[in-house]
């Protein structure tokens, strides 16, 4: 489970554990869980908590229109465990400043660490409503959204966004400076154009240019898979920290590993993947109905199976499961220590 490159791991842990505060609120470290639709739900975050090491976690994208009246016991996305609130940021998406403000107040009232405005999602249903990456086309609308949220709450306000709708970094720099002036406390930046479905490498140098343009923390995001990738992003771009997405789903213990924390015995002894799959199955059963639990486990298998040399064939039995008990049976039968691991997950599976 370890890279064996002790100098890299030592240098990385030192960088990630440097003190940091967002709006005067300290965070545990500079390695965060990115918001991910269908993946970063309460069940996964519960399992992530078992492994430790995550500085801040972000919820799935929540509709600003829905949040004010959502029932956390019923909602598929606006759901959390009380013990995680002091290190959890709720991501909201919307285009109407008034709706965003009301949603942000609900987020603050519930006790979240902060609120994150989504300005990066390029899914057509979100963009057609003027939300997500659509705000990158209309900077005045983006600023109106931030102004409304900043005026509504005292908790930290984050903005997750992309380079824009073209590879020109200049508009993103202009937007970042305006967001800082309007009161954003931290920017999480994914250096790809909005329609890019991760089929091309991120433009990592854009992180450096953006981080140099503002004085608030900028967290980099995109294709951070190994400790070397993470250290390279920190050293090469000057970003304040790193936000990890799909790799967190593939191997949730990387937060503890990369920050120099203690890993659970099952990971050290080579049984981590089976234990992880079983823990996630149990957590999904606790938090969701059987149909939704099974569906979400199957979404997870794409990233999980990418860890293995023969990942496609390993994924098939899980996708064929009809119940969560079928999932558990497959995990116990197939996830043995002898499975051949890849150091870097199979990107042909991993890039969706």
Instruction: Give catalytic residue positions.
Output: 121
Buried b vs exposed e over 255-269: b needs ≥16 C-beta within 10 Å? Answer: bbbbbebebbebbee
Tell me the helices (H) and strands (E) count for the chain, helix number first.
16, 10
Burial (CB count within 10 angstroms: exposed 0-12, middle 13-18, buried 19+), residue 88: buried
Q: Determine contact, residues 128/157, Cβ cutoff 8 Å.
A: no
Q: Which of 252, 274, 247 is nearest to 263 (CA)?
A: 252
CA quadruple 76, 77, 79, 81: dihedral, nearest 10: 110
Residue 64 and residue 94 in contact, taking contact as beta carbons nearer than 8 Å: yes
Is the Cβ–Cβ distance between 335 and 319 less than 8 Å? no
Closest by CA position to 43, among listed 292, 323, 335: 292
Using CA atoms, how far residue 216 sits from 138, 201, 210, 231, in Å, is 22, 26, 11, 20
């Amino acid at each position: 489970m370890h890279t064996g490159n002790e100098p890299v791991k030592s240098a990385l842990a030192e960088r990630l554990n440097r003190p940091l505060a967002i709006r005067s609120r300290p965070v545990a470290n500079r390695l965060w869980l990115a918001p991910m639709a269908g993946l970063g739900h309460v069940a996964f975050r519960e399992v992530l908590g078992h492994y430790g090491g995550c500085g801040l976690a972000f919820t799935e994208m929540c509709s600003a229109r829905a949040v004010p009246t959502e029932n956390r016991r019923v909602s598929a996305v606006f759901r959390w465990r009380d013990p995680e609130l002091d290190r959890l940021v709720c991501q909201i998406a919307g285009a109407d400043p008034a709706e965003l403000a009301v949603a942000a107040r609900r987020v603050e009232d519930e006790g979240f660490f902060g609120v994150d405005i989504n300005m990066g999602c390029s899914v057509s249903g979100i963009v057609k409503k003027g939300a997500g990456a659509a705000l990158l086309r209309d900077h005045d609308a983006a600023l109106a959204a931030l102004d409304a949220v900043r005026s509504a709450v005292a908790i930290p306000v984050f903005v997750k966004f992309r380079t824009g709708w073209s590879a020109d970094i200049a508009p993103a720099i202009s937007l970042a400076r305006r967001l800082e002036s309007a009161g954003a406390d931290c920017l999480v930046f994914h250096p790809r154009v909005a329609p890019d479905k991760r089929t091309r490498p991120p433009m990592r140098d854009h992180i450096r240019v953006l981080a140099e343009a503002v004085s608030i923390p900028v967290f980099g995001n995109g294709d951070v898979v190994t400790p070397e990738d993470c250290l390279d992003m920190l050293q090469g771009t000057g970003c304040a920290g790193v936000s990890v997405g799909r790799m967190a789903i593939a191997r949730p213990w990387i937060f503890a590993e990369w920050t120099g924390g203690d890993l659970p015995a099952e990971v050290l002894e080579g049984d981590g993947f089976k234990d992880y799959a079983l823990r996630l199955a149990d957590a999904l059963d606790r938090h969701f109905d059987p149909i939704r639990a099974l569906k979400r486990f199957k979404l997870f298998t794409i990233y999980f199976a990418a860890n293995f040399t023969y990942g496609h064939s390993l994924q098939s039995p899980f996708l064929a499961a009809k119940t969560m008990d079928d999932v558990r049976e497959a995990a116990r039968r197939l996830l043995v220590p002898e499975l051949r691991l890849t150091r870097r997950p199979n990107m042909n599976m991993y890039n969706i």
